Each structure stands twice: as C-alpha cells, then as structure tokens.
Amino acid sequence: MANIVVFASGSGTNFQAIIDAVESGKIAGQIRGLITNKAGIGAIERAKKHSIKYSVLSPANFPDADEFAQVLLQQLEEWETDLIALAGYLVKIPTEIIKRYEGRILNIHPALLPKYGGKGFYGLKVHQAVIENEELESGCSVHVVTDEYDAGPVLAQAKVAVKKTDDASTLAARILEEEHRLYPKVIAKMADKINAKRG
C-alpha cells in the first residue's frame, strides 16, 4: 500500500476527493498525513474527521528556508512517504523535497497547462485570466512537480467549455468538479506503480 501525504492550504475539497477514493478502494494506498501551512482551515477539519494525522508547518515560523525544509523532510520520513499530492497548497516546495521525491510529487492546477500556469496563477486569478482572454475552453491539469512553478510533465487533463455567461466563480466551480474526478484517478495510477515496484 502506497503511503500518501497530502499538502493543502485551504478548505481541502481535493483532499476530500482523495480521502473518498482511498476509503472506497479506488486508490491502493493510505493517507499517512496532511501537511499544511495554516492552522484552522477546512483541510484540518477533514483530517480530524477521518482520523488522519496532520502537521502545521509554515515557513514563516522558521529562521530560514533550510530549517523549514529539514523539518518538512523529517515529517515526511516519519510518515514513510511514497507519494506527495498537492491539493491547493500555496507554498513553494523546497528543492530538497523535490529532489528526494523526484517524480513522486503531484499537483492539480485549475487550467490547461502550459496555459495559465506559473507564479501568480492560482485560484480565481487563473479563471479570471481565462475569461478576460475569451478562451473557449479551460479545465484542469495534473502534473509532476519540479523546481519551476507548474512546469513539470503533465500527466492528465480534463476540459470544460467556457460559457459566455461564466464569471471566475462559476467557471471555477465547474472545473473543481472535474478536479475531484481527475486527481484521484491519476493518484491511483501512481500508487499502483509504487506498489508494483515493491512487488
């Protein structure tokens, strides 16, 4: 069983989609913990409800980036992490973590990468840009995390039509539904690969 750790900074709806997929057996893995940079968020409530351990680690609470990275690494090792799933996590992943878990850190982005990716493109800002540029379609992308924001290999995408009546919020809501379907499927495939390597 692949050991999955989820990183989230907000309400945790994608985290919930992963929890549901694990609990229903669609993902052959277990969620060992939640890492977040904020206390008092919805994702923590979801973790508590499902008896998942969580750790609040914010770079702001450490003297420097190196110490933050070391504490994060220790936590991931303690949970015997095989796979990291970013689910609305708004902190850049330290290089040491990316190297250590190369090819095993996934992120879901609310646009069709490489369009509308990179620093500053997150949340409603992405959907606003899509609408302002009069795009006919948008969607979500699951990609491997590398040192550069949203630049890692794209593993899967789901598309939605952009309606003339859409604003950033209505488009975000429709794309979020696709995220909840797509992300657990990609995580399931990655967990199967990890499990197969173990034999």
- Tens of pLDDT, residue by residue over 10-36, are 999 999 999 999 999 999 999 999 999
Q: What is the pLDDT of residue 85?
A: 98
Question: Would you place residue 123 in the very low, low, confident or very high pLDDT band (cuts 50, 70, 90)?
Answer: confident
**Average model confidence (pLDDT) across the chain:** 96
Q: What is the pLDDT of residue 153?
A: 97
Chain segment 51-107, per-residue pLDDT in tens? 999 999 999 999 999 999 999 999 999 999 999 999 999 899 999 999 999 999 999
Q: Which is catalytic among the residues 109, 127, 143, 180?
A: 109
Q: What is the pLDDT of residue 168?
A: 96
pTM over 0.85: yes
How many C-beta atoms surround the C-beta of residue 173 within 10 A? 11
Terminal Cα-to-Cα distance of the chain (whole angstroms): 11
Q: What is the pLDDT of residue 119?
A: 84
Question: Is 109 known to be catalytic?
Answer: yes
Judge whether residue 199 has pLDDT over 80.
no
Which of these, 67, 102, 86, lies nearest to 12 by C-alpha position?
A: 86
Residues 6+ apart with CB under 8 A from 152: 107, 143, 144, 145, 146
In angstroms, the Cα distances linking 132 to 30, 32, 109, 111, 175 are 41, 40, 19, 14, 17
Judge whether residue 115 has pLDDT over 90.
yes
Judge whether residue 149 has pLDDT over 90.
no
- Token output for 171: 């488009």
Question: Would you place residue 120 in the very low, low, confident or very high pLDDT band (cuts 50, 70, 90)?
Answer: confident
Contact criterion met (CB below 8 Å) for 150 and 116: no
Question: Would you place residue 198 in the very low, low, confident or very high pLDDT band (cuts 50, 70, 90)?
Answer: confident
Judge whether residue 122 has pLDDT over 90.
no
